[in-house]
Amino acid sequence: MILWALAAVPVAGAILCLLIRRRTAVFACLIAGSALEATIAAAAGAVVYRRGAIDACFGHLALDALSAFHLCLVTGIFLFSSIYARDYFNHEPAAQSLDDRQARRFGALWFSFLGSMAGVLLFSNVGLMWVAMESTTLASAFLICTHSDRLSIEAAWKYLIICSAGLVLGLLGTVFIHGASPSPGAAGEGALRWPDLVARAGGMNPALVKIGFVLMVVGYGTKMGLAPMHTWLPDAHSQAPTPVSAVFSGVLLNCASYCICRFLPIVSAATGTPEWGRRILVGFGLASMAVAGVFILIQRDVKRLLAYHSVEHMGIITVGLGFGPAGCVAALYHTLNHSVCKSLAFFCAGRVGQRYGTRNMESISGSAAACPVWGTGLFASLLVLIGCAPGAIFMSEFLIVRAGISGGHFAASAVFLAAVAVVFCGALKHAIDMASGDPPARLEAPRPETSGARALAASMTAWLILTGVWIPAGLSAVFERAARLIAGP
Amino acid sequence: MTGEFPAVLVLVVITNFYILNTGRYVNSVRSIALQGCLLAVLPLPEALAGSPQALFLSAGTLIVKGILMPLILIRVIRSTDEFRVAQPFLGPVASVLVGFAILAAAFRAGALIPAPLRPHDGLMGAVGLATILTGMLIMVNRRKAVGQVIGFLILENGILILSLRISRGLPFVIEMAVLFDVLLAAMIFGGFIQSVHETFAHTDVSRMRKLKG
């Protein structure tokens, strides 16, 4: 019942947005709808936490510890982004502000995007999970070019074609995993339900599972932004309106990593050893971190800088998943930290960019003085993002390295630390340059921030520092239960 | 679901080569439509054996891949006025030669797929792989947006054929969902190409190179 409600709210919201006339009402509807979805998700998460996995619709819809964690994160970030979106579009220059028709379209696509991501997490059938993942691409392509100018259309086209072509390999991977079962036809409609796949994984043909898993990592990895398939990501993140960038970076990439997580236990059971699949993940993760490090050093555009940080952090999460059970716990913790921190960073960068009329970091100086809330927030979130102690991301990166070293992955841990150090130095310079100095004289007097915006920035920053020094016992229990589904007991 | 149609598979290969060679997008779309109809034939024996699901799948494939998708693409081509395959990176003759190399490689690789074989399974695996690779070749070898979409659809057809070889097809619900998804993708791609055309006054995506680094 609760799962049906989770699926129904975005659909209803999308339809409602198309029926509403006025722009202000559309944004109110966005906030109300995503608040409702987040509340239901939290309730569903509480049920899963107390009683274990729940399912509906003959087991096609299901929610377990792993998907419930991701679902709460997705809906939470969506709620924040909806609140932010109203503020952001109110401050857009007149030429770019949305009219009623564009706002309706934005609202409908926003809810379809939310619905398709909820679908990825709710479908226990890995075939339907793929379909939902492909729909996230289709729903979000037009969100990137909300303002249809040349650059955003170019970015959206790249996104659409690269992610579709990449994801189709994920479908091929699903086909291989399906075919690896001893008698795929005999299992009937439930053949691709995740719990059944895991139960049958021991008897699967290891060669087919291996081919399938590589295709899967390349396919879903494209959507996740792993190098070398990440090329769409900086373009899409930098050209999309900032609330959309925040959702892309904060949760869309997580959904793709979730899909890869689902296949890890199948691969370990079919190949008889967990190491094979983990090695592939560590390789892709380190490659992403290295590529991102190089591009972060030479970046000029603040949103592209954040986009390459996404590539880096997706790499970190992937390495963590490859470091065994302790690494998985740390990777999930990192997923949460990265989502909160990156969406905060995008929120701040978007508003600072509006204030300065540019996203070029060389033209942004003294942002902490020129716009106190967002300038300071940008500085703080960048510091947390690159792993300053005692931020939450420092903690989770530390835990990942510890898992790597105690698991005997010395070389991988060394490369990991080197990449993190390069990113730290490169991005620290950008962060200090933007925050310090004198603001340019041409800026007009700032408009006062709404109390909602202040509360949003302050609470997210506080959360990032708080969870760096103290993880609530309930939260670490959630990570451990979810990690057990990925890496086994 | 079945492997009783070597003739159908051979025709799929012929349409692949025709699309590699043709200089007109409308002809490519007609071959895609033919390919869609051929794919609709594959589940038929099972449908005749009394499986209503296979009948639905066949009808769905015919409607989506044989009729609706080609109609959408033809409309896009007409409205953007992009009829000719302009300056592909590989010319038609070279493309066909690469196509033959792909086919040979696919026969070698298809034989390596470890799974129980039934009559014509070897052919089916090879044709599936060859179609996937041909789709990829077309995606990178076309400058216009519509050409890349055609490549994507061929790639998807190849996966469908290969899935018949590897696992007797995916479960019915998923096949239908994928079919619906591909239709949705074709509609979104079509709408998108039109906004590319409105903004850039051309649809040559190889000239869209403003975003770098």
Distances (CA, A) of A365 to A300, A307, A368, A386, A434: 13, 21, 8, 20, 4
CB contact under 8 A, B188 and A161: no
What's the number of domains chain B is made of?
1
Q: For residue B181, give the H/E element and its range.
A: helix B172-200
Whether the full predicted model's pTM is greater than 0.90, yes or no, is yes
Burial (CB < 10 A; 0-12, 13-18, 19+), residue B194, is middle
In angstroms, the CA A10 to CA A76 distance is 14
What residue of B is the nearest CA neighbor of A307?
B213
| Interface subset of A 298-327, CB within 8 angstroms of B | 298-299, 304
Cα distance between the two ends of chain B = 46
* Contact (CB, 8 A) for A107 and A30: yes
Look up residue A179 and give its two tokens.
Answer: 């075919």
CB contact under 8 A, A160 and B184: no
Among A80, A82, A96, A72, residue whose Cα is nearest residue A29: A82
Residue B169, domain member (yes or no) = yes
Tell me which amino acid residue B147 is: G
CB contact under 8 A, A157 and B145: yes
In angstroms, the CA A295 to CA A291 distance is 7
* CB-nearest partner of B159 from A149, A160, A171: A171
CB contact under 8 A, A189 and B189: no
Which residue is it, tokens 């190949």? A271
Q: For residue A256, give the H/E element and its range.
A: helix A253-271
Residue B212, domain member (yes or no) = no
pLDDT of residue B1: 43
Residues of B in contact with A191 (CB under 8 A): 171
* CB-nearest partner of B185 from A151, A164, A172: A164
CB contact under 8 A, A135 and B173: no
Which residue is it, tokens 């949460």? A336
- Burial pattern B74-84, b for ≥16 Cβ within 10 A else e, equals bebbeebebee
In angstroms, the CA A263 to CA A271 distance is 12
Distances (CA, A) of A315 to A15, A224, A253, B36, B151: 37, 9, 11, 39, 30
Whether A100 shows a pLDDT value over 70: the answer reads yes
Give the HSE-up count for residue A237: Cα atoms under 13 Å, Cβ half-sphere. 35
Among A174, A163, A171, A173, residue whose Cα is nearest residue A139: A163
Residue B185, domain member (yes or no) = yes
In angstroms, the CA B184 to CA B198 distance is 21
Q: pLDDT of A262-310, one tens digit each?
A: 999 999 999 988 899 999 999 999 999 999 999 999 988 999 999 999 9
Give every CB contact of residue A258 below 8 A, 6+ residues apart in sequence: A66, A67, A70, A120, A121
Residue B47, domain member (yes or no) = yes
Span A418-442, average pLDDT: 89
Provide the shortest C-alpha distance from residue A153 to chain B (in Å).
Answer: 7
What residue of B is the nearest CA neighbor of A156?
B192
pLDDT in tens, chain B (213 residues): 444 578 889 999 999 999 999 889 999 999 999 999 999 988 887 788 878 888 899 999 999 999 999 999 999 999 988 888 877 788 888 999 999 999 999 988 887 777 666 666 778 889 999 999 999 999 998 888 999 999 999 999 999 988 888 877 788 888 899 999 999 999 999 999 998 998 888 888 888 877 876
Residue B213, domain member (yes or no) = no
What is the residue-wise DSSP string for A299-363? --BHHHHHHHHHHHHHHHHHHHHHTHHHHHHHHHHHHHHHHHHHHHHHHHHHHHHHHHT--BGGG
Q: pLDDT of B7-42, one tens digit each?
A: 889 999 999 999 999 889 999 999 999 999 999 988
What are the phi and psi torsion angles at B146 (to 5°)?
-65, -30
Q: Where are the alpha helices (DSSP H) in B42-120?
A: 44-48, 52-61, 69-80, 92-110
Q: Which of A27-31, A61-65, A93-97, B2-6 has the lowest mean pLDDT?
A: B2-6
Q: Which domain range does residue B144 map to?
A: 6-207
Peptide bond into A228 cis (omega under 30): yes
Which residue is it, tokens 């004289």? A441
Q: Which of A182-186, A464-468, B27-31 has the lowest mean pLDDT?
A: A182-186
Q: What residue spans define the domains of chain A?
A: 1-122, 125-273, 283-489
Span A99-121, average pLDDT: 93
CB contact under 8 A, A142 and B188: yes
In angstroms, the CA A405 to CA B118 distance is 49
Distances (CA, A) of B161 to A302, B8, B151: 45, 11, 16
| Chain pair A-B, CB pairs under 8 angstroms | 128
What residue of A is the nearest CA neighbor of B149?
A161
What is the residue-wise DSSP string for A75-116? HHHHHHHHHHHHHHHHTS-GGG---HHHHHHHHHHHHHHHHH
* CB-nearest partner of B167 from A60, A134, A175: A175
In angstroms, the CA A338 to CA A343 distance is 8
Q: How many residues does chain B have?
A: 213
CB contact under 8 A, A138 and B174: no
Whether A203 shows a pLDDT value over 60: the answer reads yes
